[in-house]
Amino acid sequence: MTKKIVVWLDSNFVTFSFLYNFQKKVDCEFYAIIDIVDQNKKFFVEQKFVKFKKIWFYYDHVNLSKINVEQKYLSNFEQKYDINLWELAINERTFYQYNSFHKFTTNEILSILEQECKLFENIIEQTKPDFCITKEIIQHKDELFTQMCKSNNIPVLSSYPTKLLNRYMISQDANKFDFDIQLSEIKSDDRTIEELRKYLKNRSNFSELQKMSETFLNSKIQKLRALIKFVKQRNVNNKTHYTYFGRTKIKVLVNEIRSEIKKKIRKNFIDKRFIQKIDCSEKFVYFPLQMDEESSLLLGAPHYTNQIESIREIVKSLPVDYKLYVKEHFSQSIRNWRDIREYKKIMSIPNVKLFHPNAPSEDFFKKCSLVISAAGSSAFEATFYEKPSITFSNLHYSILPSVFYVKSLKELSRTIKNALTVKVNSKDLDKFLKCVHENTFDFDIYAYSQKELDTFFFGGQLIDVEIPMLKMKSFLKENSKMFDNMINANIKKIEWFENKK
């Protein structure tokens, strides 16, 4: 029986490349919501690589030409789908905090949300899909659509990275299994803690993330080529795509120059003022900062995006003989580091020490008493060093007895006291890793992404470009083997959902 599948596509072609290969093995018809910039559009209109029954270009249906907002419709929508629209909107990087080019009004945001809700309702009603397929969800709009799918009992197959290098999972929610796991029912492989640490070392994302943070957007040749292209090409996105509002060529260029200057000034401050070495005589709790503007924080821990406030709350909850060690994330360099005023705020909080991003993370794990993380991998890595941890998001590794999920900051003080008394059982970690391995697959996202950026997007310097058909044909053929595991995992998950009916 032909399966109807609605897919979310954007300027990251990983899902498109997957579909190109997936359609050869599964009897299905595709419907696509396409969220792309102006110059990418011609490719999707003319391409024949993936057969779509129908497509909707997101920005053809969502704009700011509509002024009046139907407040009653939005209120009814929230009740119907049990979706908090303002939670999504406030944590959308385009609408608030991280947009240097346009300040959205309340009415503009509500207008966009209304148009999205009506568009997505219409698409679901028209297609009546059996499944939804998407890559990792990173913005409010694809999060909204997938929440609506789940509300309509349409299984969502999203490809999410796990906390282990190149291991991906197909799941409806980020870093969560679609089924309950009972560690007591899993047989341990009896690996020692030393063997588990060796496993982590081989499967840690650290080296790849560090490499990316050091090389991403740093090619001077690619930057020059992208600059020439950007200056010469027409600029219509700032009139048709609300995510580009205010981005005139002059403003973009001035912003880039300012950003480079700020990055150097901030790095100089970090090098001069941040602590490099741990004081081994102190008892401390470790709170590594996460990158700003990341979906793992904005969507994964939506009420803990203000990390300075989180630091204050943690300090309030610490036993009196403990200090809080905070370390900047080395990948924050991609975001040009944080405002120096933010660093000074952290440094001014009593009982807090702020550490340099280059300080070895392993030293903190070895010597701390507890790790606290909003929604990152640090709470998971802590278990490999036999340290308990606390998270502000309910993640797949939260089933480990040494990992505590805090639903409310009111629970934090008591949870910290309890967590400090817990001993990590390596058998629990061994069982969990076995379960993860059995329910995930290998996909080298770093290698794929670099190939895609270098082939089409000047190494990531410029996304608004035309996509040549011949170049895409060659790219799809050269990289088709990369998707074998992902295809098999999606087929397996489709069968799993069908057997549940």
What gap in Å lies between CA 451 and CA 483, rounded to an integer?
14
* Torsion angle of the four alpha carbons 76, 77, 79, 84, in this order, in degrees rounded to the nearest 10: -130
The set of residues, in sequence order, having a beta carbon less than 8 Å from that of 76 and lying 6+ positions away, is: none
In this structure, what are the phi and psi dihedrals at residue 4, rounded to the nearest 5 degrees?
Answer: -95, 120
Bridge partners for 3 per DSSP: 28
Order of strands, sheet of 3-10, starting from the edge strand that comes earlier in the sequence: 52-57, 28-35, 3-10, 131-135, 156-161, 167-171, 441-442
Evaluate the CA torsion angle 306, 309, 315, 317 in order and state its sign: negative
What gap in Å lies between CA 395 and CA 232, rounded to an integer?
46
Superfamily of domain 193-203+276-438: Glycogen Phosphorylase B; (3.40.50.2000)
In this structure, what are the phi and psi dihedrals at residue 198, rounded to the nearest 5 degrees?
Answer: -65, -40
Pairing of strands 352-355, 167-171: unpaired
Both tokens assigned to 259: 């950003």
Residue ranges in 233-290 assigned as alpha helix (H): 237-240, 249-273
Both tokens assigned to 33: 């919501």
What gap in Å lies between CA 449 and CA 479, rounded to an integer?
11
pLDDT value of residue 216: 59
Residues of the chain with CATH 3.40.50.2000: 193-203+276-438
Long-range own/partner contacts, residues 467-475 (CB < 8 A, 24 or more apart): 467/40, 467/42, 467/43, 469/43, 469/46, 469/47, 472/43, 472/47, 472/49, 473/49, 475/17, 475/451
Residue ranges in 57-171 assigned as alpha helix (H): 58-61, 71-81, 85-90, 106-127, 140-151
The domain made up of 3-161+468-500 has a fold known as Rossmann fold (3.40.50)
Closest Cα to residue 208, out of 445, 46, 498? 445
Order of strands, sheet of 352-355, starting from the edge strand that comes earlier in the sequence: 352-355, 323-327, 284-288, 370-373, 389-391, 403-405
pLDDT value of residue 315: 98
> Are 14 and 21 contacting, i.e. CB atoms less than 8 angstroms apart?
no
Bridge partners for 389 per DSSP: 371, 403
What gap in Å lies between CA 371 and CA 286, rounded to an integer?
5
Coil, helix or strand at residue 24:
coil
What gap in Å lies between CA 401 and CA 347, rounded to an integer?
33
Which H or E run contains 448? helix 445-456
In the chain (501 residues long), the average pLDDT of successive 10-residue segments reads 96 97 97 96 98 98 88 98 98 94 96 98 98 96 98 97 91 91 93 95 73 62 72 81 93 93 98 97 98 91 96 98 98 95 99 98 97 96 98 95 95 98 97 95 94 92 93 98 98 95 74
pLDDT value of residue 156: 98
pLDDT value of residue 233: 80
Both tokens assigned to 190: 């009896």
Q: Is 0.75 surpassed by the pTM of this model?
A: yes
Closest Cα to residue 78, out of 161, 70, 375? 70
* Torsion angle of the four alpha carbons 423, 429, 431, 436, in this order, in degrees rounded to the nearest 10: 150
Long-range own/partner contacts, residues 238-245 (CB < 8 A, 24 or more apart): 240/38, 240/59, 240/63, 241/37, 241/38, 241/59, 242/59, 242/62, 242/63, 242/64, 242/94, 242/102, 242/104, 242/108, 242/112, 243/94, 244/37, 244/101, 245/64, 245/101, 245/102
pLDDT value of residue 212: 58
What gap in Å lies between CA 212 and CA 448, rounded to an integer?
13
